[in-house]
Amino acid sequence: MNRTMRTVGCWTMLALAGLLLWPAQAQAEKTVLRLRLDGPIMEAPSDAAGLLALLTEKETHTLHDWVTTIRSAAADREIDGLVLIIEFPEMSFAQVEELTQALKAFQAKGKPVYCYLDYAGNLSYALAAAADHITMAENSDLGIIGLHAEMMFLKGLLDKIGVEAELLHCGAYKSFIEPYTRTEPSPEAAENINWLLDGLYDRWVQMIADGRGLSTDEVKKLVDTAPLSAEQALKHKLVDEVSSFPAFKKMVYKEFGKDVNVLKRYEDGEGIELDLNNPFTLLPQLFELLEGGTQPKEPGIGLIYIEGAIMVGPSDESPFGGKTAGSTSLRAALEEARLDDDIRAVVVRVDSPGGSALASDIIWKAATRCGEEKPLIVSMGGVAGSGGYYVAIPADTIFADPTTITGSIGVGGGKLVWKELMEDKLGITTTEFSRGKHAGLMSFNRKWNESEREWITDYMNTVYEQFKGRVIESRGDRLKRELEDVAAGRVYTGEQALELGLVDQLGGLSDALDFAAKKAGLGQDYEIHITPKPSEFAAFINFLQKMAGEDGSDEFEIALSARLRSDPLLRSALPLARELAPQQLTELLRQLHNLMILHREHAACFMPFVPRVR
């Protein structure tokens, strides 16, 4: 071989070596996804919440958004890990379950999850426990103090102001009337609350134990000594490191490389990408959004949300919280899904404590019609009880999270009598004039007479028998006990409900969607058709939020409010200031809302009491 040929050969070998090395060098830069959980995690998309978020410069995300993002990132070969910053998210126990399952699916792909906490309470820590590594702020504390439930009773107040509750119920455990008629829970109500808390507590402890590789007995002992300082949490292996947020960032760089690419917003390629550096492209992109450019163009699964108190009429929502699930809107959505050929199966996500018995039955009929033509699957969220269970039972299959609160098959009805308050205390007198035997049935000025009480009792019994009849019609062959043994207002966790045959499988919304896609014969990459379709206003809000750009220049940044929590005393007091008063007010508003429905419809299907896990 001559010198020229040897030289060419050497260059050829070097070129080949370069080609072989090039992919490895190109892949040296790693990418991690950063997710920051703070504020409410919504169930359904919300125009009002989106507007409020825009005005307050905060992002809003649904549970489905978060879970889909994590699952998509798990399947994305360009994503190497996840950085999870947990601040003060407002989420239900069931939402923690579903986020935890998404994180586990991410880790199953061999991708680690790193978590940072300034402070953690019961639910935020249960979620953090799923991470591979937890860093907690110095001088912080871990508030895993156990589950606490408070049931508010209004009878003492009513007695003081001269208002008498005239209320009846069907089912010994149907205790939603007790706050107006008692000053403490009945034995049945106390039994039910303790039954629920036992199930929730055991599941909560198990989640922490599984995440941290501890026994349940070890976790229970630590709970009984909490709150724990950050150093104590480190000593007992509840966290992996105690340090500052800058130190946490340095650790991430050390693990993934100094050139790691940090994504604060994840796009899977299906949405419309906004070029914020070119203002001339924004207007055409806005028109594309408003024309439904982000709507699915292929057959897929219909997704319908039943969220909030169930009422007759259209659904409604407030920018400051609170939604109602209107029978008129939901009947139309179910009909739209039934008639749309591109929707091959329907998933109904229920997160509702019930409400109007009439509205529940209207939705039940629409769901039954839809289920006769297409696979109908229900996914239960944090609460799906009473009327929320009523609207779920037409499904072929019901999924519930282990900590979903459901059941409460029963009926209540009645009114408040204001006569003593008006006449004796305020000096306001009323004279009534009526035509018709029962014209004054719901009068606030007097109690029922014998004929009226007999009528309201018969009416409530009729509604209760109808409710039980719907359950037998939909689930009779799947119940593990006689219906009366699981009805009468009894409330269960999802895990308990599965044992009784009230639900079919444990799992979250993603599990229900995958199951529906399989039944419909769709592939793994199916489209989701949210019904009713998001409004043009929602698309416009989404456009404006994207135009607002990313929040801050730091690739990992935490919220300003979290930075201000550096003082240990302030950090300890903040959870109480944020949560105690709003919880009490929320309960009062819920009670007043229930009374409004009772006054209009005489009987209703409400959850008696929903423990709130802090």
Asked whether residue 589 is domain-assigned, the answer is yes
For the stretch 479-497, pLDDT in tens is: 999 999 999 889 999 999 9
Write down the pLDDT at residue 601: 67
Note the Cα 370 to chain centre separation in Å: 24
What tokens does 15 get? Answer: 């070129």
Question: Residue 572, class by beta-carbon neighbours within 10 Å (0-12 exposed, 13-18 middle, 19+ buried)?
Answer: middle
Mark whether 610 and 463 lie in a shared domain: yes
Which one is predicted more confidently, 92 or 168? 92
Mark whether 371 and 283 lie in a shared domain: no
Average pLDDT over residues 22-37: 72
Known catalytic residues are 174, 386
Q: Which domain holds residue 541?
A: 271-291+535-549
For the stretch 599-609, pLDDT in tens is: 666 667 777 66
User: Rounded to a whole number, what is the distance in angstroms from the first to the last CA of the chain?
Assistant: 80
DSSP 561: H
Asked whether residue 205 is domain-assigned, the answer is no
15 and 21 in contact (C-beta within 8 Å)?
A: no
Asked whether residue 463 is domain-assigned, the answer is yes
Write down the pLDDT at residue 1: 45
Asked whether residue 577 is domain-assigned, the answer is no
Which one is predicted more confidently, 367 or 579? 367
Asked whether residue 219 is domain-assigned, the answer is no
Write down the pLDDT at residue 45: 78
Average pLDDT over residues 45-50: 57
117 and 146 in contact (C-beta within 8 Å)?
A: no
pLDDT band at 569 (very low <50, low <70, confident <90, very high): very low
Mark whether 601 and 491 lie in a shared domain: yes
Asked whether residue 236 is domain-assigned, the answer is yes
Mark whether 507 and 443 lie in a shared domain: yes
Which one is predicted more confidently, 271 or 202? 202
CATH classification at residue 492:
3.90.226.10
Count of all residues that appear for the chain in the document: 614
Mark whether 126 and 164 lie in a shared domain: no
- Strands annotated E in 60-125: 61-62, 81-90, 113-117
Write down the pLDDT at residue 532: 82
What tokens does 578 get? Answer: 């944020």
Total domains present in the chain: 3
Cα distance between residue 486 and residue 415, in whole Å? 27
Phi then psi dihedrals of residue 439, to 5 deg: -60, -30
- CA separation, residue 224 to residues 210, 214, 220 (Å): 18, 15, 6
Mark whether 176 and 255 lie in a shared domain: no
| CB neighbours of residue 119 within 10 Å | 24
Mark whether 356 and 244 lie in a shared domain: no
Write down the pLDDT at residue 288: 53
For the stretch 241-264, pLDDT in tens is: 999 999 999 999 999 988 889 888
Cα distance between residue 319 and residue 316, in whole Å? 10
365 and 335 in contact (C-beta within 8 Å)?
A: no
How far is it between the farthest Cα atoms of the chain? 122
For the stretch 281-305, pLDDT in tens is: 545 555 554 444 456 778 999 999 9
Mark whether 385 and 469 lie in a shared domain: yes
103 and 389 in contact (C-beta within 8 Å)?
A: no
State yes or no: pLDDT of 11 exceeds 60: no
State yes or no: pLDDT of 133 exceeds 80: yes
Q: Which residue has the tokens 């039955």?
A: 361
Average pLDDT over residues 419-423: 88
pLDDT band at 562 (very low <50, low <70, confident <90, very high): very low
Asked whether residue 379 is domain-assigned, the answer is yes
Across the chain, what does the average pLDDT equal? 82
For the stretch 334-346, pLDDT in tens is: 999 999 999 999 9
State yes or no: pLDDT of 277 exceeds 60: no
State yes or no: pLDDT of 114 exceeds 60: yes
Mark whether 169 and 140 lie in a shared domain: no
pLDDT band at 6 (very low <50, low <70, confident <90, very high): very low
Single residue among 247, 263, 279 that ends a domain in this structure: 263
pLDDT band at 571 (very low <50, low <70, confident <90, very high): very low
Mark whether 320 and 176 lie in a shared domain: yes
pLDDT band at 403 (very low <50, low <70, confident <90, very high): very high
State yes or no: pLDDT of 538 exceeds 60: no
495 and 199 in contact (C-beta within 8 Å)?
A: yes
Mark whether 422 and 460 lie in a shared domain: yes
- Strands annotated E in 353-455: 354-356, 376-385, 397-400, 405-407, 411-417
Asked whether residue 208 is domain-assigned, the answer is no
Cα distance between residue 34 and residue 48, in whole Å? 26
Mark whether 95 and 44 lie in a shared domain: yes
Write down the pLDDT at residue 227: 93
Alpha helices in 116-239 (DSSP H): 122-128, 155-161, 178-181, 187-212, 216-225, 230-235
Write down the pLDDT at residue 587: 62
Cα distance between residue 209 and residue 203, in whole Å? 10
Task: State the number of CA atoms in the 13 A half-sphere of 231 facing the CB.
Answer: 1
Looking at 78-87, 134-143, 263-272, 379-388, which range is the least confident one? 263-272
Average pLDDT over residues 396-412: 94
Write down the pLDDT at residue 14: 40
Write down the pLDDT at residue 105: 96
